[in-house]
Amino acid sequence: MPDLIDGSENITVHGIFNWILLLAIFSIITVIGNYIGYKHPITDSLIGMFILSLLTLAGVWMERYLPFNISSIIYISVMGIILAFPGMPTSEFVSYYVSKIELLSIVTVFLAYVGIGMGKSWNEFKALGLRAIIVTVLVIASTYLGAAVVAHIVLVMTGVPV
């Protein structure tokens, strides 16, 4: 696993502008994809992406600078849920503009970066052999299907209509 822990360079934190710049780049690409794929108005989508980027920025900042050992994902989730909570003064505004960004537009851009990034593991992947690939595929399938079947049984038992 060379890449999991390689390098020992120190982090020089003049970086918040780099976060902002990266999020701006990501937002622009997402808004363009969102416009081509779903024809949502560009201004509304830009405001939606601005809200999501702000949440992300706040989350990653809090993870690194608040004295708690909590992941940014938790901060972002909690803030997002509170802002959109029905009854909050922000709820209508946030829900309206964020709904202009299709989840799939975000996912499509996100997975393009994933695709380029994962190519790096290709050589290690090739070295692992068919047997490990079989086990991995079965593990992923069983984790997904296990959760789906349990969820279905509980939903049916608690009488949730389809």
Partner 1 sequence: MEWITIPDKDPNAQLEHIYREKTDKRILKRNPWRDYRLHITVLILVVIAELIGTITIPIAKDVEITIMPLIYTIILGLVFYLAKPIKWIQRKQARIAEGAMMLFIGVLIAKLAVSSGQSISLIFDMGPALILQELGHLATILVLPIALLLGFKKEAIGMTNSIGREPNVAVVVDKYGFNSPESRGVFAIFIIGTVIGTIFISFLVTFSLSFLPLHPYAFAMASGVGSASMNAAAIGPTLAAFPGMETQIEAFAGFSNLLSFCVGIYIVIFVALPLTEKVYDLLEPKIGRKSIMPKKEDE
Q: How many whole angstroms separate alpha carbon 87 and alpha carbon 81? A: 12
Reading the block at residue 60, the tokens are: 């990653």
Q: With binding defined as CB under 8 A, does residue 122 bind partner 1?
A: yes
Segment (H or E) for 9: none
Q: How many whole angstroms separate alpha carbon 25 and alpha carbon 95? A: 23
Minimum CB distance to partner 1, residue 109 (Å): 5
Residues between 91 and 120 with contacts to partner 1, criterion CB under 8 A = 91, 94-95, 98-99, 101, 103-120
> With respect to partner 1, which residue has the nearer C-beta, 42 or 114?
114
Residues between 39 and 58 with contacts to partner 1, criterion CB under 8 A = 49, 51-53, 55-57
Minimum CB distance to partner 1, residue 47 (Å): 13
Contacts of residue 158, defined as CB under 8 A and 6 or more positions apart, other chains included, come to none
Residues between 62 and 81 with contacts to partner 1, criterion CB under 8 A = 63-64, 69-74, 76-81
Angle 16-21-22 from CA coordinates, rounded to 5°: 100
Comparing CA positions, the residue from 68, 70, 96 lying closest to residue 84 is: 96
C-alpha dihedral, 125 to 1 to 73 to 71, nearest 10°: 170
Residues between 127 and 156 with contacts to partner 1, criterion CB under 8 A = 128, 131-152, 154-156
Minimum CB distance to partner 1, residue 61 (Å): 11
Q: Given candidates 41, 43, 66, 124, which one binds partner 1 under the rule CB under 8 A?
A: 124
Binding mask 5-44 for partner 1 (x = CB under 8 A): x-x-x-xxxxx--xx-xxx-xxxxxx-xx--xx-------
